[in-house]
Structure 1
Amino acid sequence: MQSALEAFLSDRNRPTPFLVLDPAVVARRYAELTQAFPGAEILYAVKACPHPAVLRVLVDAGAGFDAASPAEVASCVEAGADPARICAGNPVRGAAATAACHAAGVRRFVTDSVEDLDELAVHAPGAEVLVRVLVDDTGSATPFFGKFGATPAVATELLRGCGSRGLVATGVTFHAGSQQTRPATYSAGAATAVAVATEAGVQRPVLDIGGGLPVAYRSAVPAWAEFAAAVAGHDVRLVVEPGRALVAEAGVLRTSVLRVSRRPGVDHRRWVYLDAGRYQGLAETENEAIDYPVRVAGRDGPTGPVVIAGPTCDGDDVLYRRTPYALPLSLRAGDHVDLLHAGAYTASYASVGFNGFAPLPVHVAPQPSSRAT
């Protein structure tokens, strides 16, 4: 845990729930990623955490951005990003969004259908186009298979169709699924993508391997260098689109315990109800895909198994029923429970008011004053 986060969390009187971010952690993770992928262009996936402080620190570090909407493009530009370093990566934008991104200065677009390619020709003339190809996503916590991506044969035809529409075919992209823990899945995806570009006649193509790089929540994951090695060996211009990998460890989501209940006849474990659940930033606990490290501030001693649930009047608002968690037997209502590595896909996923609960507040931890040397 970083000292700036700990200093902020030492104030036990701040109302919960909230997310606190340390942008310095983001800057460090970016530097580490550029070392793992030397020579690659890094485009931060804005959807993971679009907070202005995060965007600004990445602009200063030299990152580009993967934006899914005109609003995300505008946020990046406001933070100081050059539109030329922004890629409109959502292939289901719609014509109005395509036109708005182009008007803002974006010239790189991802597509996966002939319908979108036709819209790009009209609303983003002369744009550089990456075609998203469908690949296997075995090993990911949240598979993406099916919604996005063209089959290799269709992707090849889309690349070939760019020139006649006044567009520039630059290469191929894919996504191996979120929280992807198998470097071999990236290797296979890269081979498929390069084969498509070669078949379409694209010389030294852009190979955009998307995001999905994993974070060590409660289990170890391969080092980023292993993923870099898995996609090496191709004559390409490499692009990586990390989201979670850069911001997860920069955030802590602090909650308070509303109730600790025994539920005879229902479950032998205690049920712990928090004041944040799936609708207040913990959407990635759906299907228990992401298992955040959890700690209880100010409680120690023996622990016991628990079910962890959110505060809303919704039967689906249960965070962990199958995944084993143990919390102190002394846990009581009012205690703070911190979910660590929560900087990614929390505040950006939170409801704007389901059941009357407010959106998740976000704070930025003040940076420690530099000491004279």
Structure 2
Amino acid sequence: MVMAPTACAPAEICVSKHYQDKHELYPSHAGDYGGDEVSQSKLAAKDLVFEILKKRAADVDIDRCGPGEEDPFYVADMGEIYRQHLRWKMNLGRVKPFYAVKCNPDPEILRLMARLGNGFDCASKAEIDLALESGVDPSRIIYAQPCKTKSYLRYAAQMGVRQMTFDNADELYKIKANFPDAELYLRILTDDSTSLCRLSMKFGASLDVAPQLLELAHRLELNVVGVSFHVGSGAEDPKAFLKAVQDARLIFDQAAEIGYELHTLDVGGGFSQDTFEKFSAILSDALDTYFPPNIRIIAEPGRYYVASAFTLAANVIARRDVPDPLDPSRDAYMLYLNDGVYGNFSNIIFDHQHPVAQILSCENRSRASSPDAATPEGFAYSIWGPTCDGIDVISERINLPGLLDVGDWLYFEDMGAYTRCSATRFNGFSDTHEVIYISSEAGASALLDY
């Protein structure tokens, strides 16, 4: 394991902790991406993350620390992102990733993505700036926002970000007036009914409308170069990719009849860790069936890369002893953390996630109530955030093996996607927290100079 150097990065991320180099204990298997070795590498990395979480939490004296010293913090393993990239290359070698910046715009993530050779999917001026700050050429950025702000369009033209999407006639007129030399992708409607976050309710031209848009673009002398689609974030039906590829093929053929020679297909996002091989197999077959090798294929993965790379630790700031709703003869506990759905747990509301609490530290203090609180499964808790809003609940019920009290710590894995990026300052709580960067893979360490 290699630690990042001490630095105060942009976006108010402070990398302030150093730990002994454990790389000799947790060797990288990046060069040989076999299943057993990868599993061992991931397990070793999880152990390492847990060790660092515990050491960082133990450095905080809850009874004497200053305001905010016990705030939530992350451990981010850049090696996990590197492993996900190798996995992508093994299964979707034909498809070039354009990382979805909105998912997690952490500067270290963007720096690694740039050095891996990936592009960036941006939806605003700020995201374009973040991508450019990583050092990539503007040709590695797609402005994948079908409904763009006029001033942002002019800014994209100024910065040389030429690739962008559209799905309606008004957008074409806007592009004609503000960036007529742009390289355009027609975004088409898809069936995302089984996805966690549906996007087709907001974006995408139907197959009936698409030919009319191509004809209008041709009359306006705009440069349409490709087709894009998005089957929805966290897609659950791999057949959605097959249907979308088939529809895209139809649009390519219609564009050729109008006079365009399209050269790029953007297959969007929707990739998840648990279903990736299943989805990629269907997508790869569909691409090989419908699109010859001369057609460039790109994608916009987000959560696939970063969800499992970040682990969050939060402190128990308060506790209430209440009757167990399922068995009033026993005690249960309401735990209040210094983070909640208005903060890093915004993924509960906005991304339909269900973070699972695990015990990081448990002092088992003597003030704990009746031993009758324990069940064979452990102790029953509900877990709440720190704000005064009743919807600020992280877990309505969970059994944990230890008797937790104020000052103890919990941790939550898989907190890298749609968490920090959508946190707020509601009730005066901070939306920026320390991130401890590590690398459990030699390849990532070399790219990042850790």
TM-score scaled to structure 2, two decimals? 0.74
Shift of 1:89: 0.6
Is 1:334 aligned with 2:407?
A: yes
Q: Tell me, yes or no, if the aligned pair for 1:157 and 1:200 is still in contact at 8 Å.
A: no
User: 2:226 is matched with which residue: 145, 162, 171?
Assistant: 171
Aligned to 2:185: 130
Counterpart mapping for 1:240-259 below 5 A: 240-259=299-318
Q: Tell me, yes or no, if the aligned pair for 1:181 and 1:222 is still in contact at 8 Å.
A: no
Counterpart mapping for 1:117-266 below 5 A: 117-201=172-256, 202-203=260-261, 205-216=263-274, 223-229=278-284, 231-232=286-287, 233-235=289-291, 236-264=295-323
Q: Deviations over 1:162-202 (max 9, x none)?
A: 23323211221111111112211221222222222322325
1: distance between equivalents of 2:244 and 2:359? 41
- What RMSD in Å do the two structures reach over aligned CA positions? 2.6
2: distance between equivalents of 1:191 and 1:158? 19
Aligned to 2:34: none
Amino acid at match of 2:418: Y
Distance change >3 Å, CA 277–CA 171, structure 1 → 2: same
Amino acid at match of 1:234: Y
Counterpart mapping for 1:76-87 below 5 A: 76-87=131-142
2: distance between equivalents of 1:212 and 1:362? 29
Query: What SS is found at the alignment partner of 2:225?
Result: strand
Q: Tell me, yes or no, if the aligned pair for 1:19 and 1:360 is still in contact at 8 Å.
A: no
When Rg is computed on C-alpha atoms for both structures, the one with the higher figure is: 2
TM-score scaled to structure 1, two decimals? 0.89
Distance change >3 Å, CA 285–CA 188, structure 1 → 2: same
Amino acid at match of 2:187: R
Counterpart mapping for 1:1-373 below 5 A: 2=45, 5-9=49-53, 10-12=55-57, 13=59, 15-201=70-256, 202-203=260-261, 205-216=263-274, 223-229=278-284, 231-232=286-287, 233-235=289-291, 236-264=295-323, 270-286=333-349, 289-299=352-362, 302-321=377-396, 325-351=398-424, 353-367=425-439
Aligned to 2:38: none
Query: What SS is found at the alignment partner of 1:42?
Result: strand
Shift of 1:122: 1.6
Shift of 1:88: 0.3
Unaligned residue ranges in structure 2 (runs of 5+): 1-42, 61-69, 365-375, 446-450
Query: What SS is found at the alignment partner of 1:345?
Result: coil
Q: Tell me, yes or no, if the aligned pair for 2:379 and 2:403 is still in contact at 8 Å.
A: no
2: distance between equivalents of 1:27 and 1:221? 15
2: distance between equivalents of 1:224 and 1:149? 21
Of structures 1 and 2, the one scoring higher in RCO (CA 8 A, sep 6+) is 2
Distance change >3 Å, CA 364–CA 171, structure 1 → 2: same
Shift of 1:46: 0.5
Query: What SS is found at the alignment partner of 2:105?
Result: coil
Larger displacement relative to structure 2 (206-215 or 62-71) = 206-215
Q: Deviations over 1:38-76 (max 9, x none)?
A: 121210001111111111111111000101111111111
Distance change >3 Å, CA 144–CA 308, structure 1 → 2: farther
Q: Deviations over 1:195-238 (max 9, x none)?
A: 2232232545422111121134xxx7754533533643221422
Distance change >3 Å, CA 320–CA 302, structure 1 → 2: closer
Larger displacement relative to structure 2 (192-201 or 360-369) = 360-369
Q: Tell me, yes or no, if the aligned pair for 1:251 and 1:342 is still in contact at 8 Å.
A: yes
